[in-house]
């Protein structure tokens, strides 16, 4: 049941990214999500049996699914790194192609030496007592832990660097990658206890596997969906705030233009009125020009100056500061 839920979550991520990122030229995160979605789909028992029997009933589907998972996580890690400015050297190495190639080669070599038997829906349960199988699983999840750990470091840096809505994706990715690391540790414990014959430890670790896997994928998917969604909402909020500030500055700007006619009186209306950002910028410039022009007497009240300063901070992209403005000299 857990595998089916994880696969459903991953396909939901793919569909969401296709909608939210349809205008972006970089589709690496979408392709990575597609690879992981296919990997998780292979883990659904009915699908696994059908595909593996078609491939010779040697559990080769396990290797294909784990390989797709490693490739997908590597590209997701690169996507997280591209989203921020903090890109430490170790994180670049962890999500780089050379590390992925070495890990895949090691996984394939370990898989070759496993006595795999016929198709089974509990691969590690059936063959996990073999040293080659233990090495195979440890290699897969060690690589996943390294990549997810790099994602965790990058997500924390983005969480600290951003404010407001933009913190939500980083927060989700931080907790999702933390659950991913805990999942990898759980698998290590299961693999080592199985191959060494400590069945009590193995049985104690098994209940953590499903919930941690579901939590990791749900939080990571939510983080990747939230990235384009929060940017869209932020643009909408920015536009609404621009329109509000234009309305608040309108009477001040008209009064300034009566005393000191600005460039907008000599331009066609369509030159700047159609673009709210340009219109707000023109209002602020002409109000400031009227304030410093010695030929006219134009002063603002404290509230009016506060509105002008809010508009300036808004145009510069700074967060609003809620404090009274000083009286104009």
pLDDT in tens, 159-205: 877 777 778 888 998 999 999 999 999 999 999 999 998 999 999 99
Pair of tokens at residue 317: 């992209």
d(CA 233, CA 240): 11
106, 46, 45: which is closest to 70 by C-alpha? Answer: 106
How would you classify residue 317: left for phi > 0, otherwise alpha for psi between -120 and 50, otherwise beta? left
* Upper half-sphere CA count for residue 13 (Cβ side, 13 Å): 30
pLDDT (mean) for 143-162? 86
Q: What is the mean pLDDT of the chain?
A: 83
- Count CB atoms within 10 A of the CB of residue 133: 23
**Would you list the domain boundaries of the chain?**
2-234, 260-316
Per cent of the chain over pLDDT 70 is: 89
Contacts of 108 (CB under 8 A, 6+ apart): 63
Report yes or no: 153 and 91 within 8 Å, Cβ to Cβ.
Answer: yes
pLDDT at 101: 94
The hierarchical CATH code for the domain 2-234 is 1.20.1070
pLDDT at 76: 84
pLDDT at 328 over 50: no
Please give the residue that has the higher pLDDT: either 301 or 184.
Answer: 184
Contacts of 20 (CB under 8 A, 6+ apart): 225, 228, 229, 232
d(CA 100, CA 52): 25
pLDDT (mean) for 14-40? 81
Report yes or no: 286 and 262 within 8 Å, Cβ to Cβ.
Answer: yes
pLDDT (mean) for 114-118? 87
Binning pLDDT at 50, 70 and 90, where does residue 61 land?
Answer: very high
Residue written as token pair 């869209």: 232
Q: What angle separates helix 276-292 from helix 199-259, to the nearest 10 degrees?
A: 50
d(CA 322, CA 178): 36
């Amino acid at each position: 049941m857990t595998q089916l839920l994880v696969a459903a979550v991953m396909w939901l991520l793919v569909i969401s990214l296709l909608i939210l990122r349809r205008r972006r030229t970089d589709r690496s995160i979408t392709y990575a999500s597609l690879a992981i979605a296919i990997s998780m789909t292979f883990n659904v028992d009915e699908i696994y049996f059908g595909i593996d029997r078609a491939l010779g009933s040697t559990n080769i589907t396990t290797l294909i699914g784990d390989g797709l998972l490693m490739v997908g996580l590597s590209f997701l890690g690169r996507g997280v790194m591209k989203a921020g400015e903090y890109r430490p050297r170790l994180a670049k190495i962890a999500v780089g192609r050379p590390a992925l190639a070495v890990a895949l080669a090691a996984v394939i070599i370990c898989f070759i030496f496993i006595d795999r038997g016929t198709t089974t829906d509990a691969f590690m349960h059936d063959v996990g007592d073999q040293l080659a199988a233990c090495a195979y699983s440890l290699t897969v999840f060690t690589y996943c832990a390294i990549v997810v750990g790099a994602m965790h470091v990058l997500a924390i840096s983005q969480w600290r660097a951003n404010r407001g809505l933009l913190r939500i994706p980083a927060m989700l990715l931080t907790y999702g990658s933390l659950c991913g690391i805990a999942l990898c540790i759980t698998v290590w414990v299961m693999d080592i206890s199985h191959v060494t014959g400590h069945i009590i430890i193995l049985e104690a670790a098994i209940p953590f596997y499903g919930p941690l896997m579901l939590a990791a994928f749900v939080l990571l998917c939510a983080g990747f969906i939230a990235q384009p969604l929060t940017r869209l909402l932020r643009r909408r909020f920015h536009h609404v705030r621009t329109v509000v500030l234009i309305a608040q500055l309108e009477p001040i700007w008209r009064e300034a233009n009566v005393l000191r006619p600005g460039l907008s009186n000599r331009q066609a209306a369509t030159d700047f009125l159609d673009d709210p950002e340009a219109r707000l910028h023109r209002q602020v410039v002409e109000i400031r020009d009227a304030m410093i022009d010695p030929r006219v007497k134009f002063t603002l009240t404290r509230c009016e100056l506060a509105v002008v300063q809010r508009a300036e901070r808004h145009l510069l992209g700074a967060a609003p500061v809620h404090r009274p403005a000083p009286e104009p000299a």
